[in-house]
Amino acid sequence: MSLEGYSGVAEKLLKQAGAHIGDYIRIVRSDGKEFKGILMPRYSIKPRPIIVIKLDNGYNIGVKVDDNTVIEVVKTREAILEEARQGAPATIPLLEEAPKPEKRPLVTILGTGGTIASRIEYETGAVKPAFSAKDILEAVPEVGFIADIEAEVIMNVLSENMGPEHWERIVSAVAKRIESGAEGIVIAHGTDTMSYTAAALAFALRGLPVPVALVGAQRSSDRPSSDAAFNLISAVLVAAKAPFAEVTVVMHGTPSDTYALAHRGTKVRKMHTSRRDAFQSINAKPLARIYPFEKRIELVGKPLRRRGEENLKVENGFEKKVALVKYYPGMSSEIIDFLIDKGYKGIVVEGTGLGHVGDQLVESLQRAYENEIVVVMTSQTLFGRINMNVYSTGRKLLAAGVVPGEDMLPETAFVKLSWILAHTSSFEEARRLVRENLAGEIEYRHTLDLFPRWPH
């Protein structure tokens, strides 16, 4: 294996030691400081005297070296991989005496892009484009102790560029892998629109027989505070071992590396720009807590279905002429009229409180109903349930044909409506299906413990 990215004195020292990418090495600098870790590729074209290693705690660092630095190969990559194949525990360096190998589930990691697949230049701090799912696997070898891993990059798309056409490609890729024998699926995805994709998969993959775990990172790989490895290990554990068969989002449950949470794909939202525990279940409990270091999953919520109970039925396809509109004070009815005139088939409105908008929109919403455009009302408050019977404004909207969105998140309602409209041509059937609980998106009973509890 070549010394990818290394040149100058760094390359010379590594060659003298007979080191290769993936070897466990010891570096002793001329100032007496000592470092141990797995030799990683160096992603920079600048000929700097920097050697990148993965420390025992999982973090990557760049070590500056000079001609007087001493490098020793403690364990070769081949020896490490052989011990992994023999079932050695996920510690670095691996134990000399490994237990007997055990059969592991087959898990497929599908790469789509996002921060979890980013890398950093140690000199400049710049984050570089996503690398392959194979590279993710090499960067986080611990997942190989949980499951036998297959990896495939199906796209390299920034989260904000995801759309219905990408959801359809991911659905097809997941279905193909499940049909070929995968016992769990992990999807590496950018965090900003992860909840949209999770909802899309939940509606399109009917009767899932195995778990599907979407995972991302709030902070790019290799930064000291990165959550990438912890989240990926947790997601693989869910895919391999979880008793439920649902689409989930698996991310940090606290700011520290205590546990991850598996959130139902139709009830989760990113609630902070940068916190490691940014994702929360809304109007529902998380499905499970995941303790990756203990390889333990603790159920919290009630699963919709158990692993292996049903047979997969794919109902792929999403209507693109659907809009999500946030109401604001003084909003003009021209916005609704524009969508009607442009031939949109569905509109989800983020209303205020119990599901309200200003009186100035009622006539246009009535016009949408008359044109057989499905309009769904959700709430900007996120927590709680729509109730359009309490105040006169809500009753006017009901009379204008607006469908209450129950306790659905606005983005979940948007994805659901997009999916429904691609699978029925009946206006009344579409309106009925909006209010039907199809993938755990509607919670009929709420308790006080569903309200957010930040800060930790």
Kindly indicate the confidence band of residue 85, based on its pLDDT and cuts at 50, 70 and 90: low
Structure confidence by residue, pLDDT tens digits, 216-243: 988 765 555 577 888 999 999 999 999 9
Q: Is the pLDDT of residue 451 over 80?
A: no
What gap in Å lies between CA 290 and CA 35, rounded to an integer?
31
Class level of CATH domain 322-434: alpha beta
Q: Which of 191, 197, 266, 412 is catalytic?
A: 191
Q: Which of 12, 76, 192, 258 is catalytic?
A: 192
Give the domain 8-82 fold: SH3 type barrels. (2.30.30)
- pTM of the complete model: 0.78
Segment 96-107 shows an average pLDDT of 62
Residue 191 is a catalytic residue: yes
| pLDDT the model gives residue 389 | 94
Structure confidence by residue, pLDDT tens digits, 86-97: 655 443 333 333
Highest-pLDDT range among 30-34, 202-206, 447-451: 202-206
Structure confidence by residue, pLDDT tens digits, 7-17: 899 999 999 99
Residue 192 is a catalytic residue: yes
Q: E strands of 189-327, at which residues? A: 205-206, 212-215, 247-252, 260-264, 268-270, 279-281, 288-291, 296-299, 313-314, 322-326
Average pLDDT, the chain: 87
What gap in Å lies between CA 412 and CA 440, rounded to an integer?
11
Q: Which of 75, 241, 270, 345 is catalytic?
A: 270
Segment 351-377 shows an average pLDDT of 97
442, 425 contact by CB (below 8 A): no
Q: Is the pLDDT of residue 353 over 90?
A: yes
Say which residue the tokens 């959700």 belong to.
Answer: 378
Residue 123: CB atoms within 10 A of its CB come to 13
Residue 424 is a catalytic residue: no
Instruction: For residue 75, give both structure tokens.
Output: 């364990």
What gap in Å lies between CA 171 and CA 156, rounded to an integer?
16
* DSSP-based helix, strand, coil % in the chain, nearest 5: 30, 25, 50
Residue 320 is a catalytic residue: no
Of 373, 380, 365, give the one whose Cα is nearest residue 329. Answer: 380
Structure confidence by residue, pLDDT tens digits, 151-178: 888 998 888 999 999 999 999 999 999 9
Backbone phi, psi, residue 347, to 5°:
-135, 130
Q: Fill in the DSSP letter of residue 49.
A: S
Are 8-82 and 322-434 equal in CATH topology? no
Tell me how far CA of residue 336 lies from CA of 156, 165, 380, in angstroms. Answer: 34, 25, 18
Q: Which CATH superfamily is domain 103-314 in?
A: L-asparaginase, N-terminal domain (3.40.50.1170)
Q: Where are the domains of the chain?
A: 8-82, 103-314, 322-434
Kindly indicate the confidence band of residue 450, based on its pLDDT and cuts at 50, 70 and 90: low
Q: Is the pLDDT of residue 45 over 80?
A: no
The overall longest dimension of the chain from CA atoms, in Å, is 82
| Coil/strand/helix, residue 27 | strand
Instruction: For residue 63, give both structure tokens.
Output: 């070590």
Q: Which of 69, 112, 115, 393 is catalytic?
A: 115
Of 386, 399, 371, give the one whose Cα is nearest residue 442. Answer: 386
Segment 279-300 shows an average pLDDT of 94
